[in-house]
Amino acid sequence: MAYDEADKQVMLFGGATLIETWTWDGASSRTWTQKFPAQSPPVTQGAMAYDAAIGDVVLFGGFVGGWQDTLSDTRTWNGSDWMEIYPSTVPPNRYDFSMDYDPLNRVLVMFGGYRSTVVRGDTWLLELEP
């Protein structure tokens, strides 16, 4: 889950077995709304954070099928669709990690996680251009 500041709503994607995107504005309807984007990430348990520099939610990593099949893909949510992006440097694949936005330095910060049974204790920064 992540708060999408541009659209003023909470965003939820996927889980262990679902490829679904949901939003909740918490104001007018106070209900969850399922979105039906043209493109969706594979089933994943990655991490998401809102990147204020680009105005989109960013999703990284996770796994497909089981924790043995970890991912290292990066995707953005623009309020209506997912798009895979290809940063010049990509962290190793992982799941069960933390990611948040550092507004002072205008970068996403990612820490830790696992690849299969390997514990990752590294920190990565991602700076995206609008």
Q: How many domains, in total, are found in the chain?
A: 1
DSSP 98: E
Domain limits at 87?
A: 2-126
The CATH number assigned to the domain holding 81 equals 2.120.10.80
104 CB contacts (<8 Å, ≥6 apart)?
Answer: none
> Which tens digits make up the pLDDT trace of 56-112?
999 998 888 766 778 889 999 999 999 999 999 999 988 889 999 999 999 999 999
**What tens digit of pLDDT does each residue of 103-126 get?**
999 999 999 998 888 899 999 999
Does the pTM surpass 0.75? The reply is yes
- Full strand arrangement of the beta sheet holding 21-24: 2-4, 9-13, 21-24, 32-35
CB burial class (10 A; 0-12, 13-18, 19+) of residue 73?
A: middle
